[in-house]
Amino acid sequence: MPLLVQKFGGTSVADSNKILAAARRAIQAHQRGDQVLIVVSARGHTTDELVALAREITEHPPAREMDMLLSTGEQVSVALMAMAIESLGVPAISFTGAQIGLVTDSFHTKARIRNIASERIERALGKGKIVIVAGFQGVDEHYNITTLGRGGSDTTAVALAAVLGAAACEIYTDVDGIYTTDPRIVPEARKIDRISYDEMLELASLGAGVMHSRSIEFAKKYGVPIHVRSSFSDAEGTWVVPEADARRLGWAVSGAALAKDEARITIQKVPDRPGVVHSIFHTIAKANIVVDMIVQNVVLDDQAEISFAVAKSDLPDALSAAEAAAKAVGAGRVVHDAEVAKVSVVGLGMRTHTGVATTMFEALAREGINIQMITTSEIKISVLIDRPSAATALRAVHKAFSLEEAHEKPAPPFVPTVKPDRALKLVPLAPADAPNALPRGMEDLVIAGVDLDESQAGVALLGVPDEPGFAAKIFRAIGEANVFVDMIVQNVSSNGTTDLSFTVPRDTAERAAEAVRPIAGGRVVIEPNLAKLAVTGVGMRSHTGVAAAMFGALAGESINIKLINTSEVRINVGADIQSGQIAHQCLRRAFALDGDDNGES
């Protein structure tokens, strides 16, 4: 019998009428012959209210007690939902995370799922009951209650769909699908029919709050189709599906996202020697802080400047970690800016379309918005700007790519097929320090591969003006010279000037440099001998240690890192071409891609 997982978000269970409406929806599916499992969030603003209540008591509530408190919101919802379904004449049973053996690690308030024991759920489903599970919560191995991070009920739902081999996971929310950007900020945003896992992973982790990004990691790893739709209508929503099912030809950008509450940290005067970058990001990763937009400027006088962005809420912890790391490697001051925001555009089509960066930078230039930092990957471009310009920037970028217009005929509704062999085989837990420990949990990092590209060259513009419109002007000139740009990085300005670097196919580097020399207003340097190494996988940024592990492996071979780009699906670094092969091998070893045992012997 096919299984359907339905998740109802906070607004969808806000009051008794909405709970009853959700219950009827589940019963409809049950009557069609599906087994039905529901995951619910806390009602309405309950979680926010609980957070505020804790803050009234103390500025720094212990994380363990925070989880104890926040998990109560979902427990109220599951009980009410079970009562609602029973009252409508269908047998139902509710469970907390602990009751279904949803075991997590012990990182309170941002725990990751290790394992889910499916027996109890399967027994109840087998008896014809509708099963209701509390989202967002679990227990660690010592039975402490944990939560998965704000918005984490999506992750509970998709993880359960994966474990139980559900045909699909329906996410019922207060919008009727995933839009080209947040419709609350840009009312012209348009609903997307289908989107690929990779695009949604990027959008979610770059700020699109409609889905918890870790839920998309599960969906991609275990092939679960997700249907995001409105709990207040029957309209078809948005399907999040594998790339082959989502592919839209002919346009470059699928959506735009805003992360409004970001902070930027810069470590000055970082000694330029192998291992230093690793040491810094290792310290920050140990504090379990997600870092984005890591940018290292071009090295002058054997000293570099390293900047990165973190969520503003992580700033105090990130600053202490950065200060400790700076001291340990003999770097200079650590400075920060807590008033920044990140705007990103995402699209699979960027791999083949040129001019995406130029269009984005020109849109910002027209609004007079200064770009503080830039990073790119194959399918996204992110810029850091000052927070007051955030909404204007998002609207301008959305318009520049005509995202409000329908670019194609609507896709036919996606029909999920049940693949019985897809149900995940759970791996037994092994102690972390066991030799050749098996993967320790369902949410562990999965690395797909390491690639070496020896065909690129770097072009660096040093000491160039830090003013609105500069990047737009540069990339317009490069586009006119017919050069395809790959990675772009720009560091934050020190003393009114900045460094802007990018990579291009080696045989076009001279042409690109020629094109920008007359307008750069600074030094233009070609780095012809660049090797680009890319580690690809799922959840590369949200698993805090990946970049650090990559830098660590390179440091072990004394390889110096010249350029860094991070995204949710890959981390790129540029190194010296002589080191390319060695770097490739050491990264394959570091991520256990060599040999056939993969640690599973």
Binding site for ligand ASP (CB under 6 A): 9-10, 41-42, 47, 73, 135-136, 150-153
Of 140 and 236, which has the nearer Cβ to ligand ADP? 236
Q: Smallest distance, Å, CB 209 to ligand ASP?
A: 10
Closest CB to ligand ADP among 23 and 326? 23
Comparing CB distances to ligand ASP, the nearer of 41 and 181 is 41
Instruction: Work out how close the CB of 192 gets to ligand ADP at its nearest, in angstroms, rounded to a whole number.
Output: 8
| Nearest-approach distance from CB 187 to ligand ADP, in angstroms | 11
- The three-class DSSP label of residue 496 is coil
Is residue 421 packed enough to be buried (19+ CB in 10 Å), middle (13-18) or exposed (0-12)? exposed
Q: Which residues contact 461 (CB under 8 A, 6 or more apart)?
A: 474, 499, 500, 501, 516, 520, 522, 523, 524
207 binding Mg ion? (CB under 5 A): no
Rounded to 5°, angle at Cα 100 from 95 and 105: 120
- Residue 209 Cβ, how far from Mg ion at the closest point, in Å? 7
Cβ 466 to ligand ASP shortest distance, Å: 38
Between residues 155 and 508, which has the closer beta carbon with respect to ligand ASP? 155
Amino acid at the residue 424:
L
Give bridge partners of residue 494 from the DSSP assignment: 497
Nearer to ligand ADP, 144 or 392 (CB): 392
Minimum distance between the CB of residue 149 and ligand ASP, rounded to whole angstroms?
8
Q: State the nearest-atom distance from the C-beta of 42 to ligand ADP, in Å.
A: 9
* Nearest to 372, CA basis, from 300, 477, 297: 297
Gyration radius of the chain over CA positions: 24
- Containing 343, the helix (H) or strand (E) segment is strand 334-346
Q: Which residue is nearest to ligand ADP (CB)?
A: 9
Site residues for ligand ADP per CB under 6 A: 9-12, 41, 151, 173-175, 178-179, 181-184, 208-210, 255
Concatenated DSSP letters for 29-45? HHHTT-EEEEEE--STT
Structural contact between residues 15 and 110, judged by C-beta atoms closer than 8 angstroms: no
Could you tell me which stretch among 112-120, 147-155, 392-400, 440-448 binds Mg ion (CB under 5 A)? 147-155
Nearest residue (CB) to ligand ASP, 73 versus 580 = 73
- Of these partners, ligand ASP, Mg ion, ligand ADP, none, which one is at the site of residue 14 (CB under 5 to 8 Å by kind)? none
433 CB-near residues (< 8 Å, 6+ apart): none
Confirm if 299 and 271 have CB atoms less than 8 A apart. no
Q: Which does 136 bind (CB under 5 to 8 A by kind): ligand ADP, Mg ion, ligand ASP, none?
A: ligand ASP
Contacts of 500 (CB under 8 A, 6+ apart): 374, 460, 461, 464, 470, 471, 474, 488, 489, 490
- Any idea which residue has 């409508």 for tokens? 88
Judged by CB under 5 A, does residue 151 bind Mg ion? yes
Nearer to ligand ADP, 140 or 182 (CB): 182
178 binds, among Mg ion, ligand ADP, ligand ASP, none (CB under 5 to 8 A by kind): ligand ADP
Binding site for Mg ion (CB under 5 A): 9, 151
